[in-house]
Chains A and B, each alone.
Chain A
Amino acid sequence: MKILVCISNVPDTTSKINFTGDNKEFDKNGVQFVINPWDEYALTRAIELKEAKGGSVTVLNVGEADAEPNIRKALAIGADDAIRVNAHPKDAYFVAQQITAVAKEGGYDMILMGKESIDYNGFQVHNMVGEMLGIPSVTPAFKLDMVDDSTARLEREIEGGKEVVEVKLPFVASAQQPMCEPRIPNMRGIMTARTKPLKVVEPVGGEAKSEYVNYSKPEKKSGVKMIDADNAGELIKLLRNEAKVL
């Protein structure tokens, strides 16, 4: 079974978010980048399936060279090889076209990724890739198992419940917790990752369909109003009469 796992290179959750160039660009200065936490679920589950059923796991990133440390980290966690499409990920549509091109070339049985990236919060790419390839996309899935060699059984979340879906290979799925316990690299993994193949390819001539023109930050809270614990009931009155939310 050939599995393609798409990962994003994103600012660590604890990063301070700032913008430069007249609020037109994200300021990478001093920001630590990590593998998108949702993608770690997809990556670990792919590796678990490979260990159980055989096959290979290829990691794909659409991004610039500064993503390579995290691509190596994915190899250290247990992926077999990696592909980087050498391009700035302009928007979801652009990224989906790149993934689709790589997927067609490689003939993968399963294309996995996180349900969204924690920087652009799109929840778009997996469904676009499914549509571009004309194969099912099951999103967001929190359980993924093989029923037999050609069929997978997934559980996906819908508002207020869940659905159990069985699909034939190939398919696209996006992962969320509690699909698995994300792994961290061990020393042996880190050593072997250095020599695993990382292929850099140029993007296909895809267009973006949206343009990020400006960024802004939410207004700061005016400060917290403290209420004495002995008089806690006062809070309910404030929520009704002052905040007007009850």
Chain B
Amino acid sequence: MSVLVFVEGLNGEIKKSSLEAASYGSQVAQAMGTTATAVAIGDVHEEALAKLGEQGISKVLYDADDRLKQFVADAYVKVIAKAAQQENAKVLVFSNSNIGAAVGSKLAVRLNGSLATNVTELPKIEGGSFTVRRGVFSGKAFADVNLSSDVKIIAVKKNSTDIISNGGGTATVEKLSADLAEADFAAAPKETVMQDTDGGVLLPEAEIVVSGGRGLKGPENWHLIEELARELGAATACSKPVSDIGWRPHHEHVGQTGITVSPNLYIAVGISGAIQHLAGVNSSKVIVVINKDPEAPFFKAADYGIVGDALEVVPKLIEAAKALDK
């Protein structure tokens, strides 16, 4: 019996959300008196894999098949299922990413397992019961869910678990081959286009997000958001109206029908805080709201607030951020 963690790579390194999943998995393994193994695929360096020892992972199974560098659900499922079988894994841990949750859902069917996505805390394991807490109602509540099958699959919400780095030692890296057939790649992407983040931070992985709304008055002022984000090491985001009128691309829109983020710090500039927007950001740990309307509903959800014009306030913040010791 063991715990198996799926780790995702990007440009040779392991994604932050996967380091969180590894930390989560090794803590579950410890609570169950067993070890945690990771399974990795595709675009990641072996040195990065060995360093997963710091997160408490003892062994990494790595399938270096070049065809796995892009995401192909059926092939990924086959590789992870093979690793799960080899390790007799009873708990599988993923990041709650578009890839992790997709593969986890398919594996729940294939391995006849219980699945919980959007999980925010370590499980409570008592006697025969195994209960996890997950975010529901778009951040307005939590549910405790009992996973009753023999195999339990957990997708961990981003930025809800601390990355541990005292796991000690180096993980051993072993090759894994799942004997993939041509048919496993039938739904392979024709093309993968990565965003040019301009050296910036990817929004879904970001610890700090600076987000702008119509209070910026026009796309010509967007450089203020970008400059503040750069000084703080943050990703940029926007409200729905801003993406609807085309100032910013849709993939930066956070909210009910956009992306959900849960960074340590969310700075909202010139966003009134409609309930649809709050649904995408309400699990952020600290929320800062800058708005010229003192009645803006967003202030009710904020930890810090400034009433003022974005074009006057943001330059002062940039100046103060520049003065910080980095």
Q: Which residues of A contact B (CB under 8 A)?
A: 11, 13-14, 17, 19, 37-38, 41, 92-93, 96, 118-128, 130-132, 136-140, 142, 156-167, 171, 176-178, 209-218, 221, 224-229, 232-240, 243, 245-246
Distance of A201 from chain B, by nearest CB (Å) = 22
User: Do B285 and A245 have beta carbons less than 8 Å apart?
Assistant: yes
Chief secondary structure at chain B's binding surface: mixed
Q: How far apart are the CA atoms of A229 and B313 in the complex, in Å? A: 6
Q: How far apart are the CA atoms of A164 and B71 in the complex, in Å? A: 11
User: Do B324 and A246 have beta carbons less than 8 Å apart?
Assistant: yes
Q: Which of A158, A161, A238 has the most CB of B within 10 A?
A: A158
Q: Mark B238-262, 1 if CB is under 8 A from A, else 0.
A: 0000000000001101001110000
Q: Which of A93, A159, A224 has the most CB of B within 10 A?
A: A159
B223 at the A/B interface (Cβ < 8 Å)? no
Q: A13-B276, A119-B137, A232-B320 are in contact. Are A246 and B265 (CB under 8 A)?
A: yes
B32 at the A/B interface (Cβ < 8 Å)? no
Distance of A160 from chain B, by nearest CB (Å) = 5
- Residues of B within 8 Å of A, CB-based: how many? 97
User: Do B10 and A243 have beta carbons less than 8 Å apart?
Assistant: no
Q: How far apart are the CA atoms of A221 and B304 in the complex, in Å? A: 11
Q: Which of A120, A221, A224 is the one whose CB lies under 8 Å from B136?
A: A120
User: Do A136 and B186 have beta carbons less than 8 Å apart?
Assistant: yes
User: Do A128 and B320 have beta carbons less than 8 Å apart?
Assistant: no
User: Do B106 and A131 have beta carbons less than 8 Å apart?
Assistant: yes
Q: How far apart are the CA atoms of A226 and B256 in the complex, in Å? A: 27
Residues on A with beta carbons closer than 8 Å to the beta carbon of B26:
none
User: Do A218 and B283 have beta carbons less than 8 Å apart?
Assistant: yes
User: Do B191 and A209 have beta carbons less than 8 Å apart?
Assistant: no
21 residue pairs from A and B, CB less than 8 Å apart:
A118-B138, A119-B138, A121-B138, A122-B117, A123-B117, A136-B187, A142-B250, A162-B251, A165-B189, A165-B190, A210-B114, A210-B145, A216-B142, A218-B142, A224-B300, A229-B308, A229-B309, A233-B319, A238-B304, A239-B288, A245-B208
Residues on A with beta carbons closer than 8 Å to the beta carbon of B15:
159
User: Do B118 and A121 have beta carbons less than 8 Å apart?
Assistant: yes
Distance of A168 from chain B, by nearest CB (Å) = 8
Q: How far apart are the CA atoms of A161 and B191 in the complex, in Å? A: 11
User: Do A224 and B289 have beta carbons less than 8 Å apart?
Assistant: yes
Distance of B74 from chain A, by nearest CB (Å) = 8
B215 at the A/B interface (Cβ < 8 Å)? no
B101 at the A/B interface (Cβ < 8 Å)? yes
Residues on B with beta carbons closer than 8 Å to the beta carbon of A125:
105
Residues on B with beta carbons closer than 8 Å to the beta carbon of A37:
256-257
Q: Which of A93, A156, A158, A221 is the one whose CB lies under 8 Å from B115?
A: A93
Q: A13-B279, A212-B144 are in contact. Are A239 and B265 (CB under 8 A)?
A: yes
Residues on B with beta carbons closer than 8 Å to the beta carbon of A41:
257
User: Do B145 and A224 have beta carbons less than 8 Å apart?
Assistant: no
Q: A13-B138, A232-B316 are in contact. Are A164 and B189 (CB under 8 A)?
A: yes
Which residue of chain B is the closest to A12 with respect to CB atoms?
B275
Residues on A with beta carbons closer than 8 Å to the beta carbon of B309:
229
Q: Which residues of B contact A (CB under 8 A)?
A: 10, 15, 17, 70-71, 73-74, 77, 96-99, 101-106, 108-110, 113-118, 131, 134-149, 186-195, 197, 202, 204-205, 208, 232, 250-251, 253, 256-258, 264-265, 275-276, 279, 282-283, 285-286, 288-289, 299-309, 312-313, 316-317, 319-321, 323-324
User: Do A215 and B143 have beta carbons less than 8 Å apart?
Assistant: yes
User: Do A209 and B187 have beta carbons less than 8 Å apart?
Assistant: no
Q: Which of A178, A209, A240 has the most CB of B within 10 A?
A: A209
Which residue of chain A is the closest to B231 with respect to CB atoms?
A236
Q: Which of B104, B205, B250, B288 has the most CB of A within 10 A?
A: B288
Q: A160-B195, A235-B320 are in contact. Are A209 and B71 (CB under 8 A)?
A: no
Q: How far apart are the CA atoms of A92 and B48 in the complex, in Å? A: 35
Residues on B with beta carbons closer than 8 Å to the beta carbon of A235:
288, 304, 306, 317, 320
Q: How far apart are the CA atoms of A100 and B99 in the complex, in Å? A: 22
Residues on A with beta carbons closer than 8 Å to the beta carbon of B257:
37-38, 41, 176-177
Residues on B with beta carbons closer than 8 Å to the beta carbon of A221:
301-303
Residues on A with beta carbons closer than 8 Å to the beta carbon of B115:
92-93, 124, 209-210
Which residue of chain B is the closest to A182 with respect to CB atoms?
B257
User: Do A233 and B317 have beta carbons less than 8 Å apart?
Assistant: yes
User: Do B317 and A159 have beta carbons less than 8 Å apart?
Assistant: no
Q: A212-B144, A229-B312 are in contact. Are A140 and B320 (CB under 8 A)?
A: no
User: Do B306 and A229 have beta carbons less than 8 Å apart?
Assistant: yes
User: Do B131 and A11 have beta carbons less than 8 Å apart?
Assistant: no
User: Do B320 and A236 have beta carbons less than 8 Å apart?
Assistant: yes
Distance of B322 from chain A, by nearest CB (Å) = 9
Q: A209-B113, A209-B149 are in contact. Are A162 and B306 (CB under 8 A)?
A: no
Distance of A197 from chain B, by nearest CB (Å) = 30
Which residue of chain A is the closest to B120 with respect to CB atoms?
A218
Q: Which of A124, A162, A217 is the one whose CB lies under 8 Å from B141?
A: A217
